[in-house]
Amino acid sequence: MDDSPIEAPRPLEPRPKAIIIGASSGIGAALARRLASEGYFLALAARRGDLLQDLRDEINAQGKGQCLTYSHDVRQAEQAPELLQRMLRDLGGLDLFVYCAGIMYPSDPERFDAEQDLEILQVNLLGAVAWLDPVALRFRREGGGHIVGIGSVAGDRGRRGTPAYAASKAGLHTYLEGLRNRLARHGVTVTTIKPGQVQTDMLKNAPQVRGPITAERAAELIWRAIRARKSTAYVPARWRWVMLVIRHIPSFIFRRMNL
């Protein structure tokens, strides 16, 4: 719920407005700080309300952006439409929507755990669909707006250590591509972000860590992709070429590799 003791912006000072789902830590929190530095009025959601409140206090104290926070578990997909309406009322509109919520369990080729895998799909993919459909409908009616989904390079190939995570991100990429093709004619931009390794809590679960960038650097590159209204952006850009090679490795070789 909104527990933010701040006033709405005055009409003579219109601010761009954004929602970030999954903003309590890592890339989402860094992006919230980056958007706030551009003067955005933000609605931030995640489960850990204490972290969100600290972030809200930090952003509101700096005085450039403004911030409201909402406790929400994306596994409660049925709550998304109502919470979206509340955020829209509180913000007074919407220009940018970012779905960043995601989970990954430690990579383990010997683990076959349906409960865990279904949870990954619920958070990374089904939660995204629950939010993005009503957001897309609103932007389509308004004839404008910008949707951003945080996918992953992991969605470009099925790896033996994390099949459900890879599938959740591949599904998200394809869903976003379909939304883009559906909404482009209505003036709506849809951007798919594919980060490589970023130094956040999630990276503890990665099988190998090779040259990660900071969450702040990732947020800067995501902001540039938003400003440029890109369709797809690898973050950082070098992953485009890494994944081009990885995508072309024949399956019979890829399955023997430790990737």
- Give the nearer residue to ligand NAP in terms of CB position, either 17 or 173: 173
User: Which positions from 176 through 205 interact with ligand NAP, judged by CB under 6 A?
Assistant: 195, 197-198, 200-203
Q: Could you count the other beta carbons within 10 Å of the beta carbon of residue 90?
A: 15
CB of 220 vs ligand NAP, minimal distance in Å: 14
| Dihedral sign, Cα of residue 227, residue 229, residue 230, residue 232 | positive
- Give the nearer residue to ligand NAP in terms of CB position, either 48 or 182: 48
| Per CB under 6 A, 221 contacts ligand NAP | no
- Give the nearer residue to ligand NAP in terms of CB position, either 85 or 214: 214
C-alpha distances (whole Å) from 147 to each of 8, 58, 102, 116, 179 are 23, 25, 16, 28, 9
Residue from 102, 145, 161, 171 in contact with ligand NAP (CB under 6 A): 102
Between CA 22 and CA 147 the distance in angstroms is: 14
User: Of 40, 165, 175, 234, which is the active-site residue?
Assistant: 165
CB of 26 vs ligand NAP, minimal distance in Å: 2
| Dihedral sign, Cα of residue 184, residue 217, residue 24, residue 115 | positive
- Give the nearer residue to ligand NAP in terms of CB position, either 140 or 217: 217
Q: Which stretch binds ligand NAP (CB under 6 A): 11-19, 73-81, 177-185, 245-253?
A: 73-81
| Per CB under 6 A, 27 contacts ligand NAP | yes
Between CA 153 and CA 98 the distance in angstroms is: 18
Q: Write each residue from 139 to 168 as x if it is in contact with ligand NAP (CB under 6 A), else as -, in one continuous string.
A: -----------x-x----------------
| Per CB under 6 A, 75 contacts ligand NAP | yes
Between CA 174 and CA 182 the distance in angstroms is: 12
- Give the nearer residue to ligand NAP in terms of CB position, either 101 or 188: 101
Closest to 149 measured CA to CA, from 41, 210, 231, 35: 231
Q: Is 165 a catalytic residue?
A: yes
Between CA 230 and CA 173 the distance in angstroms is: 14
User: Which positions from 225 through 244 interact with ligand NAP, judged by CB under 6 A?
Assistant: none
| Per CB under 6 A, 101 contacts ligand NAP | yes
If you compute the radius of gyration of the chain from its CA atoms, what whole number of angstroms results?
Answer: 18
Q: Are 36 and 67 in contact (CB under 8 A)?
A: yes
- Give the nearer residue to ligand NAP in terms of CB position, either 13 or 201: 201
| Per CB under 6 A, 170 contacts ligand NAP | no
Continuous segment of H or E residues that includes residue 194: strand 188-195
Q: Are 26 and 215 in contact (CB under 8 A)?
A: yes
- Residues marked active site are found at 165
Residues near ligand NAP (CB under 6 A) are: 22-28, 46-48, 72-75, 100-103, 123, 150, 152, 195, 197-198, 200-203
